[in-house]
Amino acid sequence: MQHTRIFSTSFGFKPSAFKPSALNRLATAVLAGSTLLFSAGLATAQTDNSITMIDAGALGITSAEIADIKSRMQEAITSGHLAGSLLLVGNKDGIAMLESVGTQGPGDATPIDAQTIFRIYSMTKPIVSVAAMDLVEDGLLSVSDPVSKYIPEFSNMQVVNSETGALTPAQTVMTVEHLLTHKSGLIQAIFSPDTDLGKSYAAQIPGDGSLTNLQVAQRIGKLPLFFEPGSAWHYGHSTDVLGAVLEVAAGQPLDAILNERIFEPLGMDETTFYVPAAKAARIAEPIHGEMADNTTARPQLSGGGGLNSTTEDYVRFAQMLLQGGEYNGARILNPETLALMQEKRITPDVSREFFFYGDRGDWSMGFHLQPVDASNPDGAHNFGWRGIGGTLFLVDPENEFFMIYMEQRRGGPRGVPFDNNVAQRVVYEAVLN
């Protein structure tokens, strides 16, 4: 059921009585006495196709540029780096460019299209971050809340000295905001394989999804921090722990939270943690690198990287962000909340030693921030994120467009002719030329 926004708030509490869960329980009584008050908030979930094509010229993209981009995409297929890929660019009015090449996987003759299911990995993180801020709007969560309020194992944290191994009590309480901004002091084995703490993560956190979100978070809470919360940026399990926090705060499993607050209002019925067996034939598979069987349901619903989605579904999420938190009448976030999520959070007092992009760009509460003009780092920026399997999305409010790139690849030979970095570059060249 679609969210109801009865009261206008800049950022903060919205009465829980107006949440969809409450509406589900009280719809009959409310409609009997207050039909006019609630009619705008009881629309059914979106069922239309999100792919409405518009003239590419609306974004300044020419037919020659599209042909060149598709040719470059094809090179990655012909060279054996990828089985297939898809690139989409759109704005608030529709999709200006949608090009796909290749097939869903090696030995699969099915062409890639907007209904192909991809493992989006860390493109899960922005979705979970938006859900977190939706809980904040509803007064169920605060970004200033200590993580230990929801997961007691995060009380009395200690910080490890990476050189000596000595432990000292943390001087700063880890908060929900630290999780959203990756300034929590939490890491992940894959990104810190040579550190003693990274090895401890590998030993404690199985990669097979056999633990629940809460169990994963409880184990992480018993490990020391890599640094004082708030003092540095480091990619890791922050959003996995955030997912567990949301479950405790809302009293629901993470998939139910996302369904109620994002997927059902937007009509994202193809975005799930595990793919039903009946849809298995639509899953994209890599030529290079192993990817887990995403048709086998496991206890963990990873907020950091567990979702599968289609391009058609993710368009709904990206377009909602471009439109200030609303899509086809379904409001997910208030514009003020979304603006807050785009504020730069790697301030001068925060170490960039482990930031993927060094001195370039920034990180907000759930998204990367990249300057639209590289020569003006303090100017307008886009926001979004990517997945380790090769996917990428970004939203550019300044130039009023969004893009989505989908592929499946983990490693493989160097020199791939086309990937998410190239996709971003050629789209900007076409839009801004």
Q: Look at residue 433 in the predicted model and tell me its pLDDT.
A: 86
The mean predicted confidence, pLDDT, of the chain is: 90
pLDDT value at 12 more than 90: no
How wide is the angle at C-alpha 116 spanned by C-alphas 111 and 119, nearest 5°? 125
Contact 134, 402 (CB under 8 A): no
pLDDT value at 189 more than 70: yes
pLDDT value at 310 more than 70: yes
The Cα–Cα gap between 357 and 175 comes to 24
pLDDT value at 14 more than 70: no
Please tell me the pTM assigned to this model: 0.90
199-206: which pairs have CB atoms within 8 A and are 24 or more residues apart?
201/237, 205/237
Q: Look at residue 131 in the predicted model and tell me its pLDDT.
A: 98
CA dihedral 114, 314, 394, 319 (to 10 degrees): 110
Q: Look at residue 328 in the predicted model and tell me its pLDDT.
A: 96
Q: Look at residue 412 in the predicted model and tell me its pLDDT.
A: 94
Residue type for 311, please?
T
> Each residue of 209-261: pLDDT tens digit?
999 999 999 999 999 999 999 999 999 999 999 999 999 999 999 999 999 99
Residue 360: both structure tokens together: 């370039």
State the pairing for strand pair 167-169/158-160: antiparallel
The Cα–Cα gap between 326 and 125 comes to 19
Q: Look at residue 370 in the predicted model and tell me its pLDDT.
A: 97
Q: Look at residue 305 in the predicted model and tell me its pLDDT.
A: 98
Contact 305, 291 (CB under 8 A): no
> Each residue of 67-118: pLDDT tens digit?
999 999 999 999 999 999 999 999 999 999 999 999 999 999 999 999 999 9
> Each residue of 347-366: pLDDT tens digit?
999 999 999 999 999 999 99
Q: Look at residue 22 in the predicted model and tell me its pLDDT.
A: 34
pLDDT value at 146 more than 70: yes
The Cα–Cα gap between 98 and 103 comes to 15
Domains of the chain: 56-129+253-432 (3.40.710.10), 140-248 (no CATH)
Q: Look at residue 56 in the predicted model and tell me its pLDDT.
A: 98
Q: Look at residue 47 in the predicted model and tell me its pLDDT.
A: 54
Q: Look at residue 395 in the predicted model and tell me its pLDDT.
A: 98
Q: Quick one: three-class SS letters along 407-431?
A: CCCCCCCCCCCCCHHHHHHHHHHHH
User: Across-strand partners of 168?
Assistant: 159
CA dihedral 390, 317, 241, 297 (to 10 degrees): -70
